[in-house]
């Protein structure tokens, strides 16, 4: 309200992707680098977040919602100091740096997003089901990384993600690959719900 501080989206839009529903609705996924706080006197304070945000175009703007990046153990927000109904629920703490190379697709009108988790160097997937976002890691590589340049499509009603993986190779080289993760169900909920295959492999990556 007017007597407490509000957190607002700031620098949003890098690594954005969009999808259009059959009714013309437009959904957008993006990376939020920075947000800011506005106190009752109108003073602004900037925060670095590193969140995955998803929103629906309302005809004037995208109504952004933070899907991943808020620390699960964030301190409880005092509703007398911050508007907990506003963006980021009034939470100013940053969590894992996530949300690069977003790729959004719609399944029966519901948004699903594949994206890169910078902190854990992993590919993640999130899906909105009955208004609740369910997020999990699709693949994480020991001494490597998976998930850059992710591209999500639905094939025969199931999600398929193409992405880059870099992992230890032979003779001192790294090995890179274009990798495909195919969901075994329409709504995968964990790493075990995916099947993996390399499409192209570079055995001697500098």
Tens digit of each residue's pLDDT, the chain (206 residues): 578 999 999 999 999 999 999 999 999 999 999 999 999 999 999 999 999 999 999 999 999 999 999 999 999 999 999 999 999 999 999 999 999 999 999 998 999 999 999 999 999 999 998 889 999 999 999 999 999 999 999 999 999 999 999 999 999 899 999 999 999 999 999 999 999 999 999 999 88
What is the reported pTM? 0.94
What gap in Å lies between CA 34 and CA 63, rounded to an integer? 16
Closest to 194 (Cα-Cα) out of 147, 149, 148:
147
What gap in Å lies between CA 50 and CA 155, rounded to an integer? 30
Rounded-to-10 torsion of CA 162, 122, 138, 76: -130
Contact 117, 147 (CB under 8 A): yes
Contact 114, 124 (CB under 8 A): yes
Beta bridge partners of 122: 117, 140
| Residue owning tokens 């590589």 | 141
Contact 158, 152 (CB under 8 A): no
Q: What is the 3-state secondary structure (H, E, C) of 114-159?
A: EEEECCCCEEEEEEEECCEEEEEEEEECCCCEEEEEEEEEEECCEE
CA atoms within 13 A on the CB side of 21: 15
DSSP one-letter code for 190: S
What gap in Å lies between CA 140 and CA 180, rounded to an integer? 14
């Amino acid at each position: 309200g007017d007597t407490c501080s509000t957190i607002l989206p700031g620098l949003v839009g890098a690594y954005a992707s969009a999808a259009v529903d059959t009714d013309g609705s437009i959904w957008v996924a993006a990376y939020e680098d920075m947000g800011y706080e506005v106190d009752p006197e109108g003073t602004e304070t900037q925060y670095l977040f590193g969140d995955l945000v998803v929103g629906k175009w309302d005809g004037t703007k995208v109504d952004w919602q933070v899907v991943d990046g808020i620390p699960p153990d964030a301190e409880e927000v005092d509703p007398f100091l911050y508007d907990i109904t506003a963006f980021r629920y009034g939470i100013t703490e940053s969590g894992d740096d996530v949300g690069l190379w977003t790729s959004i697709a719609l399944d029966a009108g519901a948004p699903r997003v594949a994206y890169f988790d910078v902190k854990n160097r992993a590919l993640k997937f999130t899906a909105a089901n009955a208004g609740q976002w369910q997020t999990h890691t699709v693949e994480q590589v020991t001494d490597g990384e998976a998930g850059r340049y992710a591209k999500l499509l639905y094939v025969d009603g199931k999600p398929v993600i193409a992405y880059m993986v870099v992992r230890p190779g032979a003779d001192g080289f790294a090995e890179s690959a274009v990798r495909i993760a195919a969901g075994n169900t329409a709504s995968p909920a964990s790493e075990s719900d995916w099947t993996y295959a390399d499409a192209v492999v570079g055995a001697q990556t500098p």
